[in-house]
Amino acid sequence: MTCASLESAMLRWVHAPNKGMRRIAILMFNDCSLQGAGVVAEVFQAANEMASSGSGGWLYDVSFLSADGGMVTSSSALRVWTDGLDARHYGGFDALYVAGGKGAFAAAGDERLIAWLRRVRRNTGMIRPIAEGRALLEAAYVPDSKEGGDSQAQPVSARQPEQTADAGDRLESMRSALAMIKRDLGGATARTVAERLLADSCSNLAPLLGEDGGLSPGDKVRAAARWLQENCQQAISIADAAQFAAMSERNFLRRFKMEMGITPSSFLLHERLAVTCSLLTESELPVDKIARRTGMGNGDRLAKVFRKRMRISPTEFRIQSRRLVGE
């Protein structure tokens, strides 16, 4: 990551009205490291740009904070403008990141920071230290996250800065930010964000996104097929699947047919019909409701598809399938 891209991530944020807003804060101090903090900033910036171009979804309001506000000088001499700490923040944040770097040990003795952390933690969903930033949380007795931290981790005060301020810390920060984006905006968006930020890296995206396997075209297609299968009841499209696979739609269509022997549209329809058949057999739901629940639109469209594919109406299928089950 270059200083120019990092400064761009710190200063440019895209906000659109009338959308849900997540409040993200990055707590900084003099001599902090911008490596992990910059990764977090870039991840949310990329998600903002993608969400603002769509029709909905969460957006991320990122604040850079420090005890006094104003310019903070990082350990790399890059200066970043921050807001000061005040009562506006007592409502808490969806996520709060504490920057790392050698300045974290001095910051751990700042009573203003400690008092502020103790106050805002009550209303903050996740608190995540970046490398040495754990020292400041330990001083304030703040756990890594309300979801639980690593109680067996070696205390930061016993570590050397060079042991923690490495690529592993940057990727760990990126992983937690991507997890939030994945939960808010979906796996396809999280993957695209990761692809964009690691375009020039040989890093495997699977650990970052909580996925297994490599990133060969065949593996991407098979992962997209699983995604289509798991989400077939949702209002998804082939374009969404192509985005999940991090491919152009044209290339995705070609590779999918090559790997699976069927087009993505036919695969998705097959999966939706399989769920539909199960609901017709095992539930008492009306046909129209089943159609909406399985992504088939409405009862009329479902009836047309059924007659074309199965030479029978949904109601007739229900009667016959139950007869067979009862025999």
Do 20 and 141 sit in the same domain of this protein? yes
- Say how many CA atoms lie within 13 Å of 48 toward its Cβ: 21
Q: Is the pLDDT of residue 301 over 60?
A: yes
CATH number assigned to the domain comprising residue 130: 3.40.50.880
pLDDT of 114:
92
User: Nearest CA to 259 among 276, 274, 241, 273?
Assistant: 241
Do 299 and 223 sit in the same domain of this protein? yes
User: Nearest CA to 313 among 321, 303, 325?
Assistant: 303
199-236 tens-digit pLDDT: 544 444 555 555 544 457 777 888 888 888 888 888 88
- Are the C-beta atoms of 322 and 281 separated by less than 8 Å? yes
Total number of domains in the chain = 2
| Weakest mean pLDDT among 18-22, 94-98, 271-275, 308-312 | 18-22
Do 94 and 241 sit in the same domain of this protein? no
pLDDT of 109:
92
pTM > 0.75: no
Q: Quick one: average pLDDT of 62-78?
A: 89
290 domain residue, yes or no: yes
Do 45 and 153 sit in the same domain of this protein? yes
Average pLDDT, the chain: 77
CATH number assigned to the domain comprising residue 306: 1.10.10.60
Q: Is the pLDDT of residue 249 over 80?
A: yes
Rg of the chain on CA atoms, in Å: 25
Domain C-terminal end among 162, 184, 206:
184
Q: How many residues are present in the chain?
A: 327
Q: What token pair was written down for 265?
A: 């549209």
Q: Is the pLDDT of residue 311 over 50?
A: yes
143 domain residue, yes or no: yes
Do 168 and 251 sit in the same domain of this protein? no
Q: CB pairs under 8 A, 24+ apart, for 187-193?
A: 187/227, 187/244, 188/227, 188/240, 188/241, 188/243, 188/244, 189/47, 189/50, 189/51, 189/57, 189/243, 191/243, 191/244, 191/246, 192/50, 192/243, 192/246, 193/43, 193/46, 193/47, 193/50
- Are the C-beta atoms of 32 and 103 separated by less than 8 Å? yes
Domain C-terminal end among 184, 204, 231:
184
Range of the domain at 36: 3-184
Q: What percent of the chain clears pLDDT 90, i.e. is strictly above it?
A: 13
96 domain residue, yes or no: yes
| Strand arrangement, sheet containing 59-66 | 70-73, 79-84, 59-66, 21-27, 95-98, 126-129
Do 101 and 180 sit in the same domain of this protein? yes
Q: What percent of the chain clears pLDDT 70, i.e. is strictly above it?
A: 76
